[in-house]
Chain A
């Protein structure tokens, strides 16, 4: 059991909700996520939750929640005008629950495209996936009102959703004058899979497998955040050895992502040799993943209440591999940074200001490269992070170069952390699973009921899960997944302003956002 309450739920009247949220946000409390839950079957209401990092009590969360009444349609006063970071969350709720945020500046449908039936809100409890599926009309015209710039010499460049390479679908509508980008309106959510609905149907245990498959390169962070949420909800404290294993694999995932991303930036500038160097090293790490866990994407390790295998047993061979990786990483970075033609391309484009990063709720690399010191590993330490000493790196330039260099800093930091975990994880403590993993250790009335958050700082940024159990306690009433990409996609249009069209792929790679991973 945690000694103090990390999650503080505050129920407010609908009229006070916006003011309360704005108060916390303007005092510097970061909006971590915002979501709705259809709780009409338990307490007769639709509830909205806004999760903020607490300002007064470092390390804990303030969760502001309010009920939305059905007055011929669910409506409430939008908080976006005062809390810009909430803009996508509110649009998402409008799509998925039919809760209309009044006064929101942009009420175009975010998630559901034209083919979905109108007036059917998939995440309401009385709608089943089959209902939605039977009403989808693929032939229906998808007239989405893109925002564009008009005037002499302005061209609209539609890009995607099908791209020339093997990448995920996303549409980008550029308004450009010559090669300069005046405005970009991206449209995503082509891969809606109904994941959150699926969570409600499969029960807690199988939820891990879903979480692992939300975003391939963040498999382990997603499943860890999900497990932590369920464990927090049940009041289960996992054994120290399991914490070490999870932390080790979270850092390993960060490491292979960052190294792969640094290599991919070389593909963005056409620097073939640099790309090859990054790809080779990433492959070495993927092979290590496979050797340790049997899965290149670190799947199948997490269990509710612990982990399924002790990947840290063979300390010597892991250490040996890590020192090879450390040396090779240094060599690759030296090689990449010695290429003037490559480094020159990275300097300048994709500038994201600190102000925009804070206002729009940027997370992960995108935030820290613009000078925002925000890392869940220190802001809300869980797992093993309160036992190891490390530094949160930031960069201030906010451009592509800053994001690359920050990845390099963090990769080096992760390597050090991996070694430190190997040293500190005591081999004599062998338990991998909590004894009471399958039971609820926590009475229902503690900490606001059977609901909890789980969070992990992944390679792309913070990942949050919210889990609330249904009345019977056997299955979830609501699982909300908030991936890092969901926070960072809205930043891209700002980052590309005044850059040139051919630099867009490079800028996009520097954020390396997941399309499918933000589209539940």
Chain B
């Protein structure tokens, strides 16, 4: 089916909605009414229509970063199976390739944070680099758990392997992946996406100098990355439903997204942010879970 080649558009087009739903759930959790779930779309339209204020000290990196971040995230989205594991034209890709495509975007975003020459951008960048160093080994180990068990690093193959998610190793790997998901999407307890306190920002610090269309691209890319990681969690750890007829597969996929989004909103509402130097304990703990999971997978295979 030709449609399968464009399944990544689901992520591109629905990622603002997922963000809107998470924000709505958070608002409800705090006893507020909150904005409508389509607000992120309106925000994007608003930002694209606005002019931009750009620092005089900004170099070409600053101008290039929004495009690199957006396109690398888009490319990563094309590598994951969303509702079908078959895609003839582009072909679905390798999970390792996926994470390092995302890393390209992060690299440019960190550079852009430093480029504008403000203190907050630099702070955000240095903290982002610190978090990235801690998250990367853990997320790769969690992914390898699935890869070793499924004898493949192809996202499509892993997603269409419905028998493997019963192992206890998967529970450990999923826990590690969930922590990584929080860190990668810049949410509490790692980062606070709603804060106005510039001294505490990580992701918001890096994008603080952006405005207008560039900011829209970066925000959109951030939401796409969030939904991409949700999708990957669904593919690797809850791989049922892929390959059904598109409608049923889509419904099942939507349910998975909603559950993950709700879990994230609940975590974010009920917890305080960690002190930044306690992040290594949280992320280190998750790393140990990931390590245990891969050891148990290898041990069980022998």
Contacts and interface: CB of A to CB of B under 8 A. Distances in A.
Contact of B198 (A164, A268, A280, A341): A164
B30 A270 contact: no
A344 B189 CA distance: 13
Nearest to A180: B277
Contact of A341 (B29, B197, B274): B274
Interface in B190-218: 192, 194-200, 208
Contact of A179 (B26, B188, B198, B276): B276
Interface string B222-247: 00000000000000000000000000
Given A164-B208, A341-B274, A500-B277, A273 B269 contact: yes
A276 interface: yes
Given A272-B30, A276-B31, A276-B32, A505 B277 contact: no
Contact of A505 (B199, B269, B272): B199
B275 interface: yes
A140 to B, nearest CB: 22
Given A273-B29, A280-B31, A501-B123, A268 B276 contact: no
Contacts of B194: 270, 272
A280 B123 CA distance: 34
Contacts of A166: 196
A291 B87 CA distance: 66
B256 interface: no
Interface in A234-293: 266, 268-276, 280
A175 B198 CA distance: 16
Residue from A166, A167, A269 whose CB has the most chain B CB atoms within 10 Å: A269
B199 A501 contact: yes
Contacts of B271: 270-271, 339, 341
A272 B269 contact: yes
A69 interface: no
B192 A270 contact: yes
A315 interface: no
Contacts of B195: 270
A158 B276 CA distance: 20
A159 interface: yes
A115 to B, nearest CB: 24
A interface: dominant SS: helix
A272 B268 contact: yes
Most chain B CB within a 10 A radius of its CB, from A266, A276, A502, A504: A502
A503 B276 CA distance: 9
Contacts, number: 83
B276 A502 contact: yes
A501 B192 CA distance: 15
B199 A272 contact: no
A276 B276 contact: no
A159 B120 CA distance: 9
A273 B29 CA distance: 7
B270 interface: yes
B259 interface: no
Contacts of B198: 159, 163-164
Nearest to B273: A270
Interface string B243-277: 00000000000000000000000001111111111
B208 to A, nearest CB: 7
A351 to B, nearest CB: 15
Interface of B: 26, 29-32, 119, 123, 188-189, 192, 194-200, 208, 268-277
Closest 8 CB pairs of A and B: A165-B196, A270-B273, A271-B272, A269-B272, A276-B30, A342-B272, A505-B197, A270-B192
Given A159-B199, A166-B196, 12 more contacts: A158-B119, A164-B208, A270-B194, A271-B272, A272-B188, A273-B270, A339-B271, A341-B271, A344-B272, A345-B273, A500-B277, A505-B199
